Structure 1
Amino acid sequence: MSNKIKVSLFNHLIDAERQLLDPEIRQSERALDALLDDEFIEIAANGTTFNKYQVLTRLPTEVVPQFYNQHFKGRMLSDDVAQLSYQAAYRRTARSEFNYSLRMSLWRKQGEQWQMVFHQGTPCAPFTISMDDD
Protein backbone atom coordinates (compact mmCIF):
# COMPACT_ATOMS: atom_id res chain seq x y z
CA MET A 1 0.00 0.00 0.00
CA SER A 2 1.29 3.45 -0.91
CA ASN A 3 1.11 6.07 1.82
CA LYS A 4 0.42 8.77 -0.78
CA ILE A 5 -2.89 10.50 -0.12
CA LYS A 6 -5.24 11.34 -3.00
CA VAL A 7 -5.52 15.09 -3.61
CA SER A 8 -9.33 14.97 -3.36
CA LEU A 9 -9.20 13.25 0.05
CA PHE A 10 -6.40 15.55 1.24
CA ASN A 11 -8.47 18.63 0.38
CA HIS A 12 -11.62 17.09 1.95
CA LEU A 13 -9.77 16.42 5.23
CA ILE A 14 -8.25 19.92 5.34
CA ASP A 15 -11.77 21.29 4.89
CA ALA A 16 -13.12 18.99 7.65
CA GLU A 17 -10.24 20.02 9.94
CA ARG A 18 -11.07 23.69 9.36
CA GLN A 19 -14.79 23.04 9.96
CA LEU A 20 -13.84 22.12 13.53
CA LEU A 21 -12.61 25.73 13.92
CA ASP A 22 -15.82 27.24 12.51
CA PRO A 23 -17.89 28.94 15.25
CA GLU A 24 -21.17 27.56 13.85
CA ILE A 25 -19.82 23.99 13.78
CA ARG A 26 -18.26 24.31 17.25
CA GLN A 27 -21.63 25.36 18.68
CA SER A 28 -23.51 22.47 17.06
CA GLU A 29 -23.35 19.19 18.94
CA ARG A 30 -24.82 17.46 15.88
CA ALA A 31 -22.15 18.81 13.51
CA LEU A 32 -19.37 17.93 15.95
CA ASP A 33 -20.82 14.46 16.45
CA ALA A 34 -20.65 13.87 12.68
CA LEU A 35 -17.02 15.00 12.44
CA LEU A 36 -15.67 13.15 15.48
CA ASP A 37 -15.29 9.38 15.75
CA ASP A 38 -16.90 7.80 18.82
CA GLU A 39 -13.40 6.73 19.97
CA PHE A 40 -12.01 10.27 19.52
CA ILE A 41 -9.16 11.35 21.83
CA GLU A 42 -7.49 14.77 21.92
CA ILE A 43 -4.24 15.56 23.68
CA ALA A 44 -4.18 19.33 24.13
CA ALA A 45 -0.98 21.37 23.97
CA ASN A 46 -0.96 21.53 27.79
CA GLY A 47 -1.09 17.73 28.09
CA THR A 48 -4.79 17.50 29.03
CA THR A 49 -6.71 14.69 27.32
CA PHE A 50 -10.32 14.85 26.16
CA ASN A 51 -12.69 12.23 24.78
CA LYS A 52 -15.56 12.85 22.36
CA TYR A 53 -18.14 13.39 25.11
CA GLN A 54 -15.95 16.01 26.81
CA VAL A 55 -15.39 17.83 23.51
CA LEU A 56 -19.12 17.81 22.70
CA THR A 57 -19.88 19.42 26.06
CA ARG A 58 -16.92 21.84 26.11
CA LEU A 59 -16.68 23.31 22.58
CA PRO A 60 -20.21 24.72 22.28
CA THR A 61 -19.58 26.87 25.38
CA GLU A 62 -16.09 28.11 24.44
CA VAL A 63 -15.30 31.49 22.99
CA VAL A 64 -13.81 30.63 19.60
CA PRO A 65 -10.20 31.76 19.46
CA GLN A 66 -8.65 33.31 16.36
CA PHE A 67 -6.99 30.44 14.46
CA TYR A 68 -4.60 30.18 11.56
CA ASN A 69 -3.48 26.87 10.15
CA GLN A 70 -1.07 26.25 7.30
CA HIS A 71 1.49 23.96 5.66
CA PHE A 72 -0.70 20.87 5.71
CA LYS A 73 0.86 17.48 4.99
CA GLY A 74 -1.08 14.27 4.58
CA ARG A 75 -0.42 10.57 4.20
CA MET A 76 -2.32 7.32 4.33
CA LEU A 77 -1.54 5.01 7.26
CA SER A 78 -3.88 2.31 5.92
CA ASP A 79 -6.73 2.17 3.41
CA ASP A 80 -9.10 3.74 5.94
CA VAL A 81 -6.80 5.85 8.17
CA ALA A 82 -5.26 9.15 7.05
CA GLN A 83 -2.87 11.42 8.95
CA LEU A 84 -2.83 15.22 8.65
CA SER A 85 -0.16 17.43 10.17
CA TYR A 86 0.14 21.20 10.05
CA GLN A 87 1.22 24.37 11.81
CA ALA A 88 -1.36 26.23 13.89
CA ALA A 89 -1.35 29.62 15.58
CA TYR A 90 -4.17 30.83 17.78
CA ARG A 91 -4.96 33.58 20.23
CA ARG A 92 -7.89 34.11 22.55
CA THR A 93 -8.45 37.74 21.53
CA ALA A 94 -7.07 40.15 18.94
CA ARG A 95 -4.85 41.69 21.65
CA SER A 96 -3.49 38.38 22.98
CA GLU A 97 -0.15 36.85 22.11
CA PHE A 98 -0.25 33.98 19.62
CA ASN A 99 0.27 30.41 20.78
CA TYR A 100 2.12 28.31 18.18
CA SER A 101 1.82 24.56 17.79
CA LEU A 102 2.34 21.62 15.50
CA ARG A 103 -0.90 19.69 15.08
CA MET A 104 -1.57 16.13 14.06
CA SER A 105 -4.89 14.47 13.36
CA LEU A 106 -5.83 10.94 12.44
CA TRP A 107 -8.97 10.51 10.36
CA ARG A 108 -10.72 7.14 10.05
CA LYS A 109 -13.18 6.17 7.35
CA GLN A 110 -16.47 4.83 8.75
CA GLY A 111 -18.60 3.61 5.85
CA GLU A 112 -18.43 6.52 3.42
CA GLN A 113 -17.63 9.15 6.05
CA TRP A 114 -14.26 10.29 7.41
CA GLN A 115 -14.19 11.15 11.12
CA MET A 116 -11.39 12.46 13.32
CA VAL A 117 -10.28 9.76 15.75
CA PHE A 118 -7.21 11.47 17.25
CA HIS A 119 -5.85 15.01 17.53
CA GLN A 120 -2.77 16.39 19.27
CA GLY A 121 -1.26 19.84 19.54
CA THR A 122 2.38 20.26 20.58
CA PRO A 123 3.76 23.72 21.40
CA CYS A 124 6.50 24.87 19.03
CA ALA A 125 8.66 27.92 18.30
CA PRO A 126 6.92 30.88 16.65
CA PHE A 127 6.69 30.78 12.85
CA THR A 128 5.60 33.22 10.18
CA ILE A 129 1.86 33.10 9.63
CA SER A 130 1.16 32.87 5.94
CA MET A 131 -2.02 34.51 4.74
CA ASP A 132 -1.97 32.23 1.67
CA ASP A 133 -4.39 29.34 1.85
CA ASP A 134 -1.92 26.45 2.03
Structure 2
Amino acid sequence: MSSKIKASLFNHLIDSERQLLDPDVRQSRDALNALLDDEFIEIAANGTVFDKHHVITRLPTEVVPQFYNQHFKGRMLSDDVAQISYQAAYRRSARSEFNYSLRMSLWRKSNEQWKMVFHQGTPCALFTISMDDD
Protein backbone atom coordinates (compact mmCIF):
# COMPACT_ATOMS: atom_id res chain seq x y z
CA MET A 1 0.00 0.00 0.00
CA SER A 2 1.45 3.33 -1.08
CA SER A 3 1.21 6.20 1.38
CA LYS A 4 0.64 8.67 -1.47
CA ILE A 5 -2.77 10.31 -1.34
CA LYS A 6 -4.72 11.00 -4.54
CA ALA A 7 -5.05 14.70 -5.32
CA SER A 8 -8.85 14.47 -5.52
CA LEU A 9 -9.11 12.92 -2.06
CA PHE A 10 -6.52 15.32 -0.63
CA ASN A 11 -8.50 18.32 -1.91
CA HIS A 12 -11.77 16.83 -0.64
CA LEU A 13 -10.32 16.34 2.86
CA ILE A 14 -8.86 19.87 2.95
CA ASP A 15 -12.31 21.16 2.01
CA SER A 16 -13.85 18.99 4.76
CA GLU A 17 -11.32 20.32 7.32
CA ARG A 18 -12.23 23.85 6.34
CA GLN A 19 -15.97 23.09 6.55
CA LEU A 20 -15.41 22.23 10.22
CA LEU A 21 -14.13 25.81 10.70
CA ASP A 22 -17.10 27.38 8.89
CA PRO A 23 -19.50 29.21 11.26
CA ASP A 24 -22.60 27.72 9.58
CA VAL A 25 -21.23 24.18 9.92
CA ARG A 26 -20.03 24.71 13.49
CA GLN A 27 -23.52 25.83 14.52
CA SER A 28 -25.30 22.90 12.83
CA ARG A 29 -25.53 19.57 14.65
CA ASP A 30 -26.55 17.88 11.38
CA ALA A 31 -23.56 19.26 9.46
CA LEU A 32 -21.18 18.26 12.27
CA ASN A 33 -22.74 14.81 12.45
CA ALA A 34 -22.17 14.35 8.71
CA LEU A 35 -18.44 15.18 9.02
CA LEU A 36 -17.56 13.44 12.31
CA ASP A 37 -17.27 9.68 12.69
CA ASP A 38 -19.28 8.13 15.53
CA GLU A 39 -15.95 7.12 17.16
CA PHE A 40 -14.51 10.65 16.81
CA ILE A 41 -12.00 11.79 19.45
CA GLU A 42 -10.36 15.22 19.75
CA ILE A 43 -7.42 16.05 21.97
CA ALA A 44 -7.48 19.80 22.61
CA ALA A 45 -4.37 21.93 23.03
CA ASN A 46 -4.83 21.82 26.82
CA GLY A 47 -4.97 18.01 26.83
CA THR A 48 -8.74 17.74 27.26
CA VAL A 49 -10.28 14.83 25.36
CA PHE A 50 -13.64 15.29 23.63
CA ASP A 51 -15.84 12.73 21.89
CA LYS A 52 -18.36 13.35 19.12
CA HIS A 53 -21.23 14.02 21.55
CA HIS A 54 -19.22 16.71 23.38
CA VAL A 55 -18.23 18.41 20.12
CA ILE A 56 -21.73 18.38 18.66
CA THR A 57 -23.18 19.87 21.85
CA ARG A 58 -20.33 22.36 22.49
CA LEU A 59 -19.53 23.89 19.08
CA PRO A 60 -22.98 25.30 18.29
CA THR A 61 -22.80 27.36 21.52
CA GLU A 62 -19.30 28.78 20.98
CA VAL A 63 -18.30 32.09 19.46
CA VAL A 64 -16.62 31.13 16.20
CA PRO A 65 -12.96 32.14 16.19
CA GLN A 66 -11.17 33.62 13.20
CA PHE A 67 -9.13 30.80 11.60
CA TYR A 68 -6.31 30.60 9.09
CA ASN A 69 -4.92 27.28 7.95
CA GLN A 70 -2.15 26.49 5.52
CA HIS A 71 0.59 24.12 4.38
CA PHE A 72 -1.57 21.03 4.24
CA LYS A 73 0.08 17.63 3.92
CA GLY A 74 -1.66 14.33 3.44
CA ARG A 75 -0.90 10.64 3.26
CA MET A 76 -2.75 7.37 3.26
CA LEU A 77 -2.28 5.16 6.34
CA SER A 78 -4.40 2.38 4.81
CA ASP A 79 -6.92 2.06 1.99
CA ASP A 80 -9.61 3.65 4.16
CA VAL A 81 -7.66 5.91 6.55
CA ALA A 82 -6.03 9.21 5.53
CA GLN A 83 -3.92 11.58 7.63
CA ILE A 84 -4.06 15.35 7.09
CA SER A 85 -1.73 17.79 8.86
CA TYR A 86 -1.43 21.56 8.62
CA GLN A 87 -0.57 24.80 10.39
CA ALA A 88 -3.40 26.76 11.98
CA ALA A 89 -3.65 30.21 13.52
CA TYR A 90 -6.78 31.40 15.26
CA ARG A 91 -8.00 34.17 17.50
CA ARG A 92 -11.22 34.70 19.39
CA SER A 93 -11.71 38.25 18.07
CA ALA A 94 -10.00 40.81 15.84
CA ARG A 95 -8.38 42.34 18.95
CA SER A 96 -7.08 39.05 20.32
CA GLU A 97 -3.61 37.64 19.85
CA PHE A 98 -3.26 34.70 17.50
CA ASN A 99 -2.78 31.19 18.85
CA TYR A 100 -0.58 29.01 16.62
CA SER A 101 -0.81 25.25 16.34
CA LEU A 102 0.05 22.22 14.30
CA ARG A 103 -3.08 20.23 13.54
CA MET A 104 -3.49 16.59 12.60
CA SER A 105 -6.62 14.73 11.62
CA LEU A 106 -7.38 11.15 10.70
CA TRP A 107 -10.20 10.58 8.24
CA ARG A 108 -11.82 7.17 7.82
CA LYS A 109 -13.86 6.00 4.86
CA SER A 110 -17.06 4.22 5.82
CA ASN A 111 -19.95 3.50 3.45
CA GLU A 112 -18.19 5.49 0.71
CA GLN A 113 -18.06 8.60 2.92
CA TRP A 114 -14.99 10.11 4.58
CA LYS A 115 -15.50 11.22 8.20
CA MET A 116 -13.04 12.63 10.72
CA VAL A 117 -12.26 10.04 13.39
CA PHE A 118 -9.43 11.85 15.24
CA HIS A 119 -8.17 15.44 15.57
CA GLN A 120 -5.43 17.04 17.63
CA GLY A 121 -4.07 20.56 17.79
CA THR A 122 -0.69 21.12 19.43
CA PRO A 123 0.53 24.64 20.24
CA CYS A 124 3.61 25.66 18.27
CA ALA A 125 5.86 28.63 17.67
CA LEU A 126 4.59 31.64 15.74
CA PHE A 127 4.72 31.29 11.94
CA THR A 128 3.95 33.63 9.05
CA ILE A 129 0.33 33.46 7.97
CA SER A 130 0.12 33.06 4.22
CA MET A 131 -2.92 34.55 2.54
CA ASP A 132 -2.43 32.12 -0.36
CA ASP A 133 -4.94 29.29 -0.46
CA ASP A 134 -2.64 26.30 0.08
How far apart, in 1, do the equivalents of 2:48 and 2:92 lie?
18
Aligned residues with identical type, % of pairs: 86
Q: Which residue matches 1:93? A: 93
How far apart, in 1, do the equivalents of 2:22 and 2:125 lie?
25
How far apart, in 2, do the equivalents of 1:90 and 1:122 lie?
13
Deviation at 1:111, TM superposition (A): 1.1
How far apart, in 1, do the equivalents of 2:101 and 2:25 lie?
22
Q: Which residue matches 2:54? A: 54
Q: Which residue matches 1:19? A: 19
How far apart, in 2, do the equivalents of 1:24 and 1:123 lie?
26
Q: Which residue matches 1:38? A: 38
Amino acid at match of 1:128: T
Give the count of matched residue pairs. 134
Large movers: runs of 4+ above 2 Å: none
Unaligned stretches of 5+ residues in structure 2 = none
Could you list the per-position Cα deviations for residues 19-71 of structure 1 after superposition, in whole angstroms to 9, with x for gaps in the alignment? Answer: 00000001110010000000000001111110000000000000000000000
Could you list the per-position Cα deviations for residues 67-107 of structure 1 after superposition, in whole angstroms to 9, with x for gaps in the alignment? Answer: 00000000000000000000000000000000000000000
How far apart, in 2, do the equivalents of 1:46 and 1:87 lie?
17
TM-score normalised by structure 1 residue count: 0.99
* Secondary structure of the corresponding residue to residue 117 of structure 2: strand
* Secondary structure of the corresponding residue to residue 57 of structure 1: helix
How far apart, in 2, do the equivalents of 1:24 and 1:96 lie?
22
TM-score normalised by structure 2 residue count: 0.99
- What is the Cα-based RMSD across aligned positions, in Å? 0.3
1:124 maps onto 2:134 in alignment: no
